[in-house]
């Protein structure tokens, strides 16, 4: 007797293509993502689990974006143009995301521009793109978000980067006496690595600041965010000026971390009381001399930073980073 095997969607019972026998497919009727396995799951059990996953969250804030529901887990920041939230998609395939909600109608264009920049950066095919595009914000899209009780608001939704503690502005505020200069070295180096890639592709950020860089304490990583003012200017004088501005702003960001949040923070940040002379000299040059930044470029500054670090601290070594040390060990 000939035995026939028919595969159907466990959510809507629609027939699935033959490819469902050996790979993951999407149901053409309800859009469910389906992977065939050896374990048999009763349809009613599957649907009951789906209903539980989509159930309302008691006492939680839930918003809707692109027909999916997201539970707000925590506020992350409030910027000039947007309110930033950490949220998790409800349903059978949960995913944590960062949602930037426009604060007013004027911010809609800002979010749209940032989304376009990030999509263009993710589409780069130049050397190093496979590595560095994973170290840039990854957009999922824009669209109207509803359900938070304050009407519909334009939203930019990003994949949420795991392991990041907060911004360098948060680090500065948590360290009134400034951070250890050894940490300033790797933080600046991570920023320069990303800038070298972005500048090489003809782009510039144009708005670097401590608030626009997230830090990963365990892996010594930095994620540059806030790309709404970025632009692509090719390789002419305009791009050279933009790139030099990025490099100067990166140096000022590191100076702010070394200066800390204590004392006169309204003026220009100093270099910290314990910053070694070679690092202090390089930071002063790169924060105040645009021509030097144009001449060296991100890669040249990184090479100078490696030399200054070796002169000040010797051979490189991994030093644990606590972004918010408790005073007196309390």
pLDDT tens figures, 222-264: 999 999 999 998 878 999 999 999 999 999 999 999 999 875 4
Q: How far apart are CA 291 and CA 318, in angstroms?
A: 33
Which pLDDT value is given to residue 58?
Answer: 57
Verify that 90 and 229 share a domain, yes or no.
Answer: no
The residue from 159, 193, 212 where one domain ends is 159
Verify that 154 and 173 share a domain, yes or no.
Answer: no
The residue from 116, 133, 159 where one domain ends is 159
Q: How far apart are CA 214 and CA 293, in angstroms?
A: 23
Q: Is residue 17 part of a domain?
A: no
Verify that 226 and 249 share a domain, yes or no.
Answer: yes
CB atoms within 10 A of CB 136: 21
Q: Look at the chain and report how many structural domains it folds into.
A: 2
Verify that 184 and 270 share a domain, yes or no.
Answer: yes
Verify that 184 and 324 share a domain, yes or no.
Answer: yes
CATH number for the domain that contains residue 155: 3.30.200.20
CATH number for the domain that contains residue 244: 1.10.510.10
- Whether pTM > 0.85 for this model: the answer is no
Q: Is residue 243 part of a domain?
A: yes
Is-contact 34 27, C-beta < 8 A? yes
* Residue-number span of the structural domain to which 219 is assigned: 166-329
Answer yes or no: is pLDDT of 56 > 60: no
Verify that 135 and 180 share a domain, yes or no.
Answer: no
- Look-up of token digits 């939203």: 155
Report the 3 state secondary structure along 251-314: HHHHHHHHHCCCCCCCCCCCCCCCCCHHHHHHHHHHHHCHHHHHHHHHHHHHHHHHHHHHHHHC
- Of the candidates 132, 130, 135, 205, the one whose C-alpha atom is nearest the C-alpha of residue 163 is 135
Verify that 303 and 183 share a domain, yes or no.
Answer: yes
Verify that 173 and 264 share a domain, yes or no.
Answer: yes
Q: Is residue 74 part of a domain?
A: yes
Two tokens at 198? 């972005």
Q: Is residue 44 part of a domain?
A: no
Is-contact 141 119, C-beta < 8 A? no
Which pLDDT value is given to residue 272?
Answer: 76
Q: How far apart are CA 164 and CA 217, in angstroms?
A: 7
Which pLDDT value is given to residue 329?
Answer: 46
19-23, 37-41, 67-71, range with the lowest pLDDT: 37-41
11-20, 34-43, 271-280, range with the lowest pLDDT: 34-43
Verify that 193 and 87 share a domain, yes or no.
Answer: no
- Burial-class residue 255 by CB neighbours within 10 Å (0-12, 13-18, 19+): buried
21-35, 39-53, 124-138, range with the lowest pLDDT: 39-53
């Amino acid at each position: 007797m000939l035995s026939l095997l028919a595969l159907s969607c466990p959510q809507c019972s629609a027939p699935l293509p033959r490819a469902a026998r050996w790979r993951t497919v999407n149901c053409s009727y309800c859009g469910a993502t389906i992977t065939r396995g050896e374990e048999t799951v009763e349809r009613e059990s599957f649907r009951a689990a789906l209903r539980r996953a989509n159930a309302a969250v008691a006492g939680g804030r839930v918003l809707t974006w692109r027909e999916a529901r997201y539970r707000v887990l925590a506020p992350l920041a409030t910027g000039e143009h947007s309110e930033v939230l950490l949220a998790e998609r409800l349903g059978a395939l949960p995913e944590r995301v960062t949602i930037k909600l426009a604060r007013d109608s004027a911010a809609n264009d800002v979010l749209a521009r940032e989304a376009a920049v990030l999509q263009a950066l993710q589409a780069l095919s130049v050397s190093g793109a496979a590595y560095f595009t994973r170290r840039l914000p990854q957009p999922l899209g824009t669209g109207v978000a509803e359900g938070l009780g304050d009407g519909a608001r334009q939203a930019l939704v990003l994949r949420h980067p795991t392991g990041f503690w907060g911004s360098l502005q948060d680090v500065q505020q948590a360290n009134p006496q400034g951070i250890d200069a050894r940490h300033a070295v790797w933080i600046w180096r991570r920023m320069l690595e990303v800038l070298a890639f972005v500048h090489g592709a003809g782009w510039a950020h144009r708005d670097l600041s401590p608030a626009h860089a997230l830090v990963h304490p365990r892996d010594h990583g930095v994620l540059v965010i806030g790309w709404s003012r970025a632009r692509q200017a090719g390789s002419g004088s305009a791009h050279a000026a933009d790139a030099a501005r990025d490099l100067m702003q990166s140096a000022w960001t590191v100076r702010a971390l070394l200066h800390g949040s204590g004392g006169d923070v309204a003026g220009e940040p100093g270099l910290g009381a314990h910053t070694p002379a070679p690092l202090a000299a390089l930071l002063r040059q790169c924060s105040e001399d645009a021509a030097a930044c144009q001449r060296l470029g991100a890669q040249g500054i990184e090479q100078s930073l490696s030399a200054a670090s070796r002169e000040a601290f010797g051979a490189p070594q991994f030093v644990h980073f606590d972004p918010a040390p408790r005073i007196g060990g309390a």
